[in-house]
Amino acid sequence: MTWRPAFWLCAAGVVVADQATKVWALRALTPGDKHELLGNLLSIQLVRNSGAAFSLGHQSTWILTIVALLVTAGIVFYARRAQATWSAVVFGIALGGAVGNLIDRLFREPSFGQGHVVDMINYGDQFIGNVADIAIVGAAIALVIAGLLSKPVLAPAEGEQGDDAPDAQPHPDGADPRG
């Protein structure tokens, strides 16, 4: 793929939306206070999460930061092979989500690399997330659906043959070996 502007624009848009909502939450909300939007189903509640999803690994913030860096690099690496604009957009959304939470881990309290992620969207008291989390989960769901529908997401890497590629090298006279 050539680096499509859609990839970078989507990533930047998600980062801006994520960081803007986090700044708003930190300024407007009191930690722990719950503000119902749709009864108990959806509410706003400021928390700082040192762990991953469901606060797993809350004692391993540095490890989570390193994993987030690796995931971010992996998204950029694989996005270069995006097969179509829609897949570049999905990778851009995933990158924006990963970077949004990585910014928190790197630059928020208590210290560099051990920052707590700002979460504020409470889903029926099951878990609390943020815009970056929505982007990451949404992109993952889109990729799973694409796989179930057999939609190509990535172009074959150099030296690999895609599903549509002939098994043999092209004939020297240019004829299609498949007939």
- Catalytic residue numbers read 119, 133
CA–CA dist 13, 93 (Å, integer):
8
With tokens 């989390």, the residue in question is 133
| Preceding peptide of 110 cis, ω within 30° | yes
The residue with tokens 């270069």 is: 80
How distant, in Å, are the alpha carbons of 161, 167, 168, 170 from that of 173? 21, 17, 14, 8
Distance CA 157, CA 149 (A): 21
Q: Are 80 and 92 in contact (CB under 8 A)?
A: no
Closest CA to 146 of 93, 80, 84: 84
Strand order in the sheet with 127-129: 34-38, 42-49, 117-123, 127-129
Task: Retrieve residue 42's tokens.
Answer: 């959806």
